[in-house]
Amino acid sequence: MNYVSTRDKSVKVSAAKAIAQGISTEGGLFVPDTFPTLSVADFEALIKMNYIERAKFVLSQFLNDFSEDEVDYCVKGAYTGSFDNEQPAPISLINKNANILELWHGPTCAFKDLALQLLPYLLTTSAKKVNDGKKTVILVATSGDTGKAALEGFKDVPDTEILVFYPSEGVSPMQKLQMDSQKGENVHVCAIKGNFDDAQTGVKKIFTDNAVKEKLAENNMLFSSANSINWGRLAPQIVYYVSAYCDLLEREPECVKDGFNIVVPTGNFGNILAAYYAKKMGVPVNRLICASNANNVLTDFIKTGTYDRNRNFYTTISPSMDILISSNLERMLFELSGNNDKEVAALQDSLSKNGTFTVSDEIKTKMGELFWAGCCDDKATLETIGKYFDEYSYLCDTHTAVAMNVYEQYVNTTGDDRPTVIASTASPYKFAKSVLSAVSGKTGDSEFDTVRVLSEETNTEIPEPIKALENAKVRFKELCEKDDMLSAVYGALGI
Ligand X SMILES: *Cc1c(COP(=O)(O)O)cnc(C)c1O
User: Between 162 and 273, whose beta carbon lies closer to ligand X?
Assistant: 273
User: Between 61 and 108, whose beta carbon lies closer to ligand X?
Assistant: 108
User: Between 123 and 290, whose beta carbon lies closer to ligand X?
Assistant: 290
Stretch that binds ligand X, among 265-273, 308-316, 385-393, 408-416 (CB under 6 A): 265-273
Closest approach, Cβ 63 to ligand X, in A, equals: 21
How wide is the angle at C-alpha 86 spanned by C-alphas 81 and 92, nearest 5°?
140
Closest approach, Cβ 293 to ligand X, in A, equals: 9
Cα distances (angstroms) measured from residue 178 to each of 79, 222, 461: 21, 27, 19
Listed in sequence order, the residues at least 6 apart from 116 whose beta carbon sits closer than 8 Å to its beta carbon are 146, 149, 150, 152, 153, 226, 233
Return d(Cα 203, Cα 123) in angstroms, integer: 19
- Among 21, 35, 16, 223, smallest CA distance to 122 is for 16
Closest approach, Cβ 73 to ligand X, in A, equals: 26
Among 46, 91, 98, 110, binds ligand X (CB under 6 A): 110
Closest approach, Cβ 266 to ligand X, in A, equals: 4
Stretch that binds ligand X, among 41-49, 63-71, 264-272, 473-481 (CB under 6 A): 264-272
Among 425, 434, 437, 450, binds ligand X (CB under 6 A): 425
Among 112, 148, 176, 364, binds ligand X (CB under 6 A): 112
Half-sphere exposure of 221 (CA within 13 A, CB side): 20
User: Between 75 and 115, whose beta carbon lies closer to ligand X?
Assistant: 115
User: Between 426 and 488, whose beta carbon lies closer to ligand X?
Assistant: 426
Taking the CA atoms of 169, 465, 145 and 422 in sequence, report the sign of the dihedral they define.
negative
User: Between 72 and 84, whose beta carbon lies closer to ligand X?
Assistant: 84
- Among 98, 123, 399, 420, smallest CA distance to 268 is for 399
Half-sphere exposure of 352 (CA within 13 A, CB side): 13
Q: Is 321 in the site for ligand X (CB under 6 A)?
A: yes
Site for ligand X in 271-300 (CB under 6 A): 271
User: Between 180 and 397, whose beta carbon lies closer to ligand X?
Assistant: 397
The one-letter code for the residue type at 211 is A
Return d(Cα 495, Cα 486) in angstroms, integer: 11
Return d(Cα 228, Cα 328) in angstroms, integer: 7
Q: Is 378 in the site for ligand X (CB under 6 A)?
A: no
How many residues are there in the chain? 495
Helix axes 231-251, 40-47, angle to 10 degrees: 80
Listed in sequence order, the residues at least 6 apart from 359 whose beta carbon sits closer than 8 Å to its beta carbon are 305, 306, 307, 333, 336, 347, 367
How wide is the angle at C-alpha 140 spanned by C-alphas 137 and 146, nearest 5°?
130
- Among 205, 183, 124, smallest CA distance to 159 is for 124
- Give me the phi and psi of 460, to 5 degrees please: -120, 160
How many residues bind ligand X (CB under 6 A)? The answer is 16
Return d(Cα 77, Cα 480) in angstroms, integer: 35
Cα distances (angstroms) measured from residue 60 to each of 46, 176, 425, 426: 13, 35, 25, 28
112 is annotated as an active-site residue: yes
Among 117, 268, 437, 450, binds ligand X (CB under 6 A): 268
Closest approach, Cβ 398 to ligand X, in A, equals: 8
Stretch that binds ligand X, among 173-181, 259-267, 348-356, 449-457 (CB under 6 A): 259-267
Closest approach, Cβ 267 to ligand X, in A, equals: 3
DSSP for 267-292, written as a single string: SSSHHHHHHHHHHHTT--EEEEEEEE
Q: Is 384 in the site for ligand X (CB under 6 A)?
A: no
Stretch that binds ligand X, among 61-69, 78-86, 171-179, 266-274 (CB under 6 A): 266-274
Site for ligand X in 130-159 (CB under 6 A): 145
Selecting among 17, 56, 112, 430, the annotated active-site residue is: 112
User: Between 268 and 337, whose beta carbon lies closer to ligand X?
Assistant: 268
Q: Is 345 in the site for ligand X (CB under 6 A)?
A: no
Among 399, 410, 428, 488, binds ligand X (CB under 6 A): 399
Among 265, 428, 463, 465, binds ligand X (CB under 6 A): 265
Residues with catalytic roles? 112
Residues that bind ligand X (CB under 6 A): 110, 112, 145, 228, 265-271, 320-321, 399, 425-426
